[in-house]
Structure 1
Amino acid sequence: MELINFKVGCKTISLKILDILLTERFDNNLTTLPNNNKSFIGVKDYMDIPTPVFDLGIILNNISTEQSNAHVLKQLRTWQEKLLNWFNTLQSNLLNSSASISSNDAELQDFVLFYKEFNTDNEDLKLTMSRLNEPFQSLLETVKEAISAHNQSDYKQVSALLEKIKRSNLIQLERLFESAKEQITLDYKPIIVFTTKDGLNPHVGLLVDKVEDNIDYKKEDIKSLDKLTEVGFDLDPQTKNMMRGLIKLSQKHSVLIDPSVIFKPTQLEESESEETQAYGLF
């Protein structure tokens, strides 16, 4: 049986191709309705049939990818601004203060932790973040030289070193910040996956980040979640009900999702439990 993999935050999920009617770009043009389900984001017509759409990011990760991206973008902008303000203040002190200045970059150590511990599946973004280290460490070293020159009253050398920082390290860091922000924005191409239970009519729409690839699976490829939930953690009933198992990919697992049981009314669960558990796999 053929599956299609989709990206949802840091997770990869799989759907049977027979459970999918259509995928289309998400243009944020849904009709919103009053509701208490935070993953329900609105209604979209499929062949003139109003279809509820749910954000799989909220269901699986407790936060939408859009919100997660916005948080990272805010962090990048904050550090970009902090770094520039720190340098401007230091430059002003070096050029105008006659008092001795000590090297104090302790406030920037959190920035080092931020880019060194930054975690993402986007290889381009991961590479960009790793490239912040070289110009930043070079900037700190040159700043130490400028402070030393200042304390020795060598103001000509101070000016030369500050210009060197502005022409080299700061420009490199600014470009890397802008590149990282652009990659986060460009990598997010959300789509709606219209699912079906009968191959004809829409069941629900699922918002995912993007399409990954197609894979073929066999019975032995599906690994049960039962063993995982026996070792000290459990999944909430809604999430557990829709997850049918794990499929080993090259470097990680994909979560097999059964869309037919997503948000199923409680009264229907028992009558369809046998069909749900089998999910047409075996």
Structure 2
Amino acid sequence: MDLINFKVGQKTISLKILDILLTERFEDNLTSLPNDNKSFIGVKDYMEIPTPIFDLGIILNKKSTQEANQSLLEVFSKWQRKQQDWFSSLESSINQQTVFNDNIDCQQSSFAKWYKSFKTDNEDLQAIIGRFRIPHEHLYQRASELIELTKSGQTERAKKELNSERNSSFTQLIRLFESAKEQLSLDYKPIIIFTTKDGINPHIGLLVDKVEDSINYKKEDVKPLDKLTDVGFKIDSQTKNMMRGLIKLEQKHSVLIDPSAIFRPAHLMNQQSEETEAYGLF
């Protein structure tokens, strides 16, 4: 069985090559139609056939990847503003020879705790976040030293060294924030997968983040979801109807998706065994 893997948020999904007519770059040029399904984002022509497009991120993650990325961008911006405010307060304290009331213990820094616990499947983004530690810890160490210089009456020296830190460690930290935000934009290259049930006509389109790779699997490589659902693991009905099993990759699993199940007639919704066999796994 030949499959193609796609990225959807933190998840990897697989579709049979025979279910795919075409993939194309998403240009955000869909025709909107009234609909109560939150994952339905509009209609696009495939060979002059209007085809409904669904956001697979909303179906699988309850949130579109674009929305999730925007939320993360706001988190990065929030921490960036806090670091800028911290440095401005330090600068003001030294220039005016006043008490610095902010934290200078890096071990107690909420920002340090955040970036140390940050996890993402985006390896480039993870690498950027990992580089926060050195300039951030250095700034906290230098802050303590500059405050002591000011207390001892060496204000001009403290000002000079603080300006040097602004042009080195602090600037490096701010550039890392900008790189992290840029990486989010670079990594998101959404495409539409036009799927088919007969190999000729389009059925639906699925919006995913990007193409991963192609693989070949045998039926025994696809593990059923029964074990998960039997122990009370809840999956909403729309998602459950689409999922055909798990495929073990190197570090994680991919979810095998049957796109035709989105519009499956109501009288077939509970016939899991028939659906699996009909999907061509046996």
The 1:77–1:244 alpha-carbon spacing in structure 2 relative to 1, beyond 3 Å, is same
Deviations 1:143-171 (A, max 9, x none): 00011111111112211221121121111
Write out the 4+ residue segments of structure 1 that deviate beyond 3 Å after TM superposition.
99-103, 105-108, 267-270, 272-275
Match of 2:50 in 1: 50
Count of aligned pairs between the two proteins: 280
Q: 1-side partners of 2:169 and 2:51: how far apart?
A: 52
Q: What's the secondary structure of 1:181's corresponding residue?
A: helix
Shift of 1:104: 2.3
Match of 1:179 in 2: 179
Shift of 1:77: 1.2
The 1:274–1:84 alpha-carbon spacing in structure 2 relative to 1, beyond 3 Å, is closer
Shift of 1:250: 0.9
Report the residue type matching 1:199 in the other structure. G
Match of 2:275 in 1: 276
Identity %: 59
8 Å contact kept, 1:103–1:144: no
The 1:269–1:103 alpha-carbon spacing in structure 2 relative to 1, beyond 3 Å, is closer
Q: 2-side partners of 1:50 and 1:144: how far apart?
A: 64
Report the residue type matching 1:168 in the other structure. S
Match of 2:78 in 1: 78
The 1:257–1:154 alpha-carbon spacing in structure 2 relative to 1, beyond 3 Å, is same
Q: What's the secondary structure of 1:54's corresponding residue?
A: strand
Q: 1-side partners of 2:241 and 2:102: how far apart?
A: 57
Match of 1:212 in 2: 212
8 Å contact kept, 1:14–1:256: yes
Residue 123 (structure 2) pairs with residue 123 (structure 1): yes
Question: Counterparts of 1:75-114 in structure 2 under 5 Å?
Answer: 75-97=75-97, 99-101=98-100, 104-105=103-104, 109-114=109-114
The 1:101–1:184 alpha-carbon spacing in structure 2 relative to 1, beyond 3 Å, is closer
TM-score by length of 2: 0.94
> Which runs of 5 or more residues in structure 2 are unaligned?
none
> Which runs of 5 or more residues in structure 1 are unaligned?
none
Q: What's the secondary structure of 1:143's corresponding residue?
A: helix
The 1:20–1:147 alpha-carbon spacing in structure 2 relative to 1, beyond 3 Å, is same
* Aligned-residue CA RMSD (Å): 1.8
Match of 1:39 in 2: 39
8 Å contact kept, 2:86–2:102: no
Shift of 1:248: 0.5
TM-score by length of 1: 0.94
Question: Counterparts of 1:176-255 in structure 2 under 5 Å?
Answer: 176-255=176-255
Q: 2-side partners of 1:155 and 1:268: how far apart?
A: 78
Shift of 1:131: 0.3
Report the residue type matching 1:172 in the other structure. Q
Q: What's the secondary structure of 2:60's corresponding residue?
A: helix
Report the residue type matching 2:235 in the other structure. L
Shift of 1:191: 0.2
Match of 1:162 in 2: 162
8 Å contact kept, 1:4–1:17: yes
